[in-house]
Each structure stands twice: as structure tokens, then as C-alpha cells.
Amino acid sequence: MTGVMLSTLLEETGIDPKAKWLVAEGADAPALSRSVPIAKALDDAMIALYQNGERLMPGNGYPLRLLLPGWEGNMNVKWLRRLKLVEAPAMTYYESRTYAPILPNGKAYQFYFLQEVKSFITHPSPGLMLKAPGFYEISGIAYSGNGRISKVMVSADGGQSWAQAALHEPVLSKAFTRFRVPWSWNGGPAVLAKPRMGRGGQRAAHARPDHRVRGQTAKSAAGHRLPEPALQRRDQLGDQQRGGGEPCLRIS
């Protein structure tokens, strides 16, 4: 993304000391609006005009869009038509209701904003046929709204053992980081587990298997509900199929 730092614009306008939030509003049909703390606006928020070297595409918010690195995508308000500085959050529909996940005890998180460390495996991917045992590359994306990815660990045996993946440079703060690790598939059922990642030497606490390549007899975990905050959707489960006497792995 390329654009103008919001802090530059706010420096030009000045900020009343009473203003603690801003309401960002789009020019779409429902005039989507979200409240943003001033601290984020002055930190790394951008009014984005370009993406990947060309003007924003219409569907991505042309002519300009708010960009809040590392925060909920919905807050990157498209077709930005207005920023209004206010003293308190507007408690818009999307922050009051939609982006307020309920916890098991009935309370709900509010102002979720930050997207913490997450990852997903893109290869092997759903629909891919692995025709024979041998070497394959496990590859995927890791990212963190807190900063730079320092390490990604991958398991191909359901989390019993882990290997450190290579990171594709450049590794940038709050940006998608591609990882890859070689994998020797022996033809049997395998569970590709969610990478464990650390930032600044710290290892993330929540490492859960999320990408399974399973035998036909394995029980489906599709109905399993994660403990709090239960925001992560389970990845689709894989199927192992055999045909023509040769091991054949299909991930669906």
C-alpha cells in the first residue's frame, strides 16, 4: 500500500486535546463506520491511494481507503469519505455487535481491533492430489498484528515433532510472511499442524493443529469448538484416498 500517513494529515489540521477517537466513514451504501483510537491514527495509520503500484481497485476502496496495519480488516474503511474526530467511540453497528465475540461465560470482547499471531498452510492445499510418496514442500503464510515474525515451526505428525521453517525475505512487520519447509510423505495419514511462531524470541502460547491430512477412519473434528475466544475457524479436513493400488493423498 502507498499513501499519505494519517499522522501527516492530522498534523496539518491540528487535533483538539479533547479528541480521543476518530470515526472513519465510507461512501458505500450503508456508509460503513468504525471508531479508531487517536493513538493508532498517529502511530501507523495511512490513507492508502495505491496498492501493488497501481491505484486502488474499485472493490478495494478507490479512490482512498483507511489502512490500519495489523488491525481488523473491516476497520480499513473503503471509499473513505470522512474522518471525524470525536471524544468517545461512536459504538457503531460493527463495533457494538458484529466484531464483539461472545466468550463462554456470556461476556463479550469489545474493541477487538488487533489481529494477533496467526498462520495457515497453503500447500498442500485443499483439492491437491499427491500421487506418490516422496518429497513435498509444506508452505504457508504467517503474520502478526504485533510486529515481525521471527520464527515458524511446522509439524507433519500432529504436533509430536516440529521443524523450523525457512522464511521468505523480506520479513516485514505486520505483513504476510511466507514460510516453507521440506516434507517427506511416506504415503500414510499425516496431520500438518499449525505452525508455532514467536516474535522477539517469544513463542506463541496457542499452537493448535488446524490442517489435517487424515485417514478415512479418523474421526471428524469439524464440530469441535475451540476454547476462547473461538474466533479461529477450523481448516477443512483432509481425506486420504487410495486408488489403483498406489497411495494417493487428496486434501479437500
* Residues forming the site for another protein (CB under 8 A): 4, 9-16, 18-19, 23, 25, 27, 29-31, 33, 37, 39-40, 47, 49, 63-64, 80-93, 96-97, 100, 102-104, 106-114, 225, 228, 230
CB of 206 to another protein, least distance (A): 15
The nearest distance, CB 57 to another protein, in angstroms, is 17
Residue 214 to residue 252: CA distance in whole angstroms: 11
| Closer to another protein by Cβ: residue 7 or 122 | 7
Question: How many residues can be counted in the chain?
Answer: 252
Q: In whole angstroms, what is the distance from residue 14 CA to residue 227 CA? A: 44
Please identify, using beta-carbon distances, which residue of 96 and 186 lies nearer to another protein: 96
> Are the C-beta atoms of residues 23 and 90 closer than 8 Å to each other?
yes
Reported as half-sphere exposure (CB side, CA atoms, 13 A), residue 75 has a value of 22
Task: Give the cell for residue 125.
Answer: 492445499
CB of 3 to another protein, least distance (A): 9
Which of 88/205 has CB closer to another protein? 88
R_g over Cα of the chain: 22
Q: Nearer to another protein by C-beta: 166 or 226?
A: 226
φ, ψ (nearest 5 deg) of residue 157: -130, 35
CA distances to 64, 68, 108, 123, 189 from 211, rounded to whole Å, are 36, 29, 28, 10, 12
CB of 168 to another protein, least distance (A): 29
Q: How far is the CB of 241 from another protein (least distance, A)?
A: 33
In the bound state with another protein, the residue whose beta carbon lies nearer, of 170 and 227, is 227
